[in-house]
Amino acid sequence: MYSVLLPIDGSEERAEAQARMVTSLPDAGDSVRATLLRVFEDRQTAESTSVGQLTAGQVAEDVLLDAGVAVDSKTTYGDAAEEILRTADEVDADLIVLGGRKRSPLGSLLFGSVSQAVTLDATRPVVVTGGVEEREETERPAATG
């Protein structure tokens, strides 16, 4: 069985893209076990919230189950990148599938990226799926005159 870790956040679009990437793996329905992971900032939320209670979690789970992929779920709390890497070790993931966000060069420079940290520190393969572009608050549409 091939183990895949899908850390999800609140984005349904990214969760669906991550799940669809997993279902595109050869013989996914027969040979893949996916673990959906949600990392919260605090312990209380992690202990009282399941991945299935989140819309993004439901979306990912539905896509995976419809393709016959076995699904587990886990919630934890703390630093997202550290918890993703720790959980990947815990479940002995063969692959980590992240939902990436498109950022401007300035946004990537100013703000830490969980995807970047996981990709740089992982000891196993990482795939980053696409996402919607985020605009910087300082960016304004060009004035027309």
Pick the more confident residue, 69 or 110. Answer: 69
Handedness of CA 84, 57, 111, 44 (dihedral sign): negative
- pTM score, two decimals? 0.84
pLDDT tens, residue by residue, 22-48: 999 999 999 999 999 999 999 999 999
Return the higher-pLDDT residue of 86 and 144: 86
Relative to beta strand 32-40, strand 126-129 is: unpaired
> How many independent structural domains does the chain possess?
1
Would residue 89 count as lying in a domain? yes
Beta bridge partners of 127: 97
Residue 137 lies inside a defined structural domain of this protein: no
Q: Which pLDDT score, from 0 to 100, does residue 47 have?
A: 96
Q: At 37, which amino acid appears?
A: L
Task: Tell me which amino acid residue 38 is.
Answer: R
CATH of the domain at 81: 3.40.50.620
- The answer to whether residue 125 sits within a structural domain is yes
For residues 116 and 59, which has the higher predicted lDDT (pLDDT)? 59
Map tokens 């995807």 to a residue: 115
Please state, in angstroms and rounded to a whole number, the distance separating the CA atoms of residues 119 and 109: 16
Query: What pLDDT is recorded for position 130?
Result: 74
Among all chains, which residue has been given the structure tokens 């393709």?
A: 67
Tell me whether residue 97 is in a domain.
yes
- Residue 107: is its pLDDT beyond 80? no
Boundaries of domain holding 113: 2-129
The Cα–Cα gap between 61 and 20 comes to 10
Whether 136 is covered by a domain: the verdict is no
Domain annotation covers residue 107: yes
C-alpha–C-alpha distance, residues 74 and 77, integer Å: 10
108 confidence band (pLDDT: 50, 70, 90)? low
User: For 46-103, what is each residue's pLDDT tens digit?
Assistant: 999 999 999 999 999 999 999 999 999 999 999 999 999 999 999 999 999 999 876 6
CB–CB of 69/25 below 8 Å?
A: no
Q: Is the pLDDT of residue 18 over 80?
A: yes
* Per-residue pLDDT at 103: 62
Is 109 domain-assigned? Answer: yes
Instruction: Convert the pLDDT of each residue in 119-141 to its tens digit.
Output: 999 999 999 987 544 444 434 44
pLDDT of 126 reads 95
Residue 143 is assigned to a structural domain of this protein = no
Q: Which of 83, 72, 81 is nearest to 118 (CA)?
A: 81
pLDDT (0 to 100) of residue 132: 45
Q: Cα(first)–Cα(last) distance of the chain, in Å?
A: 61
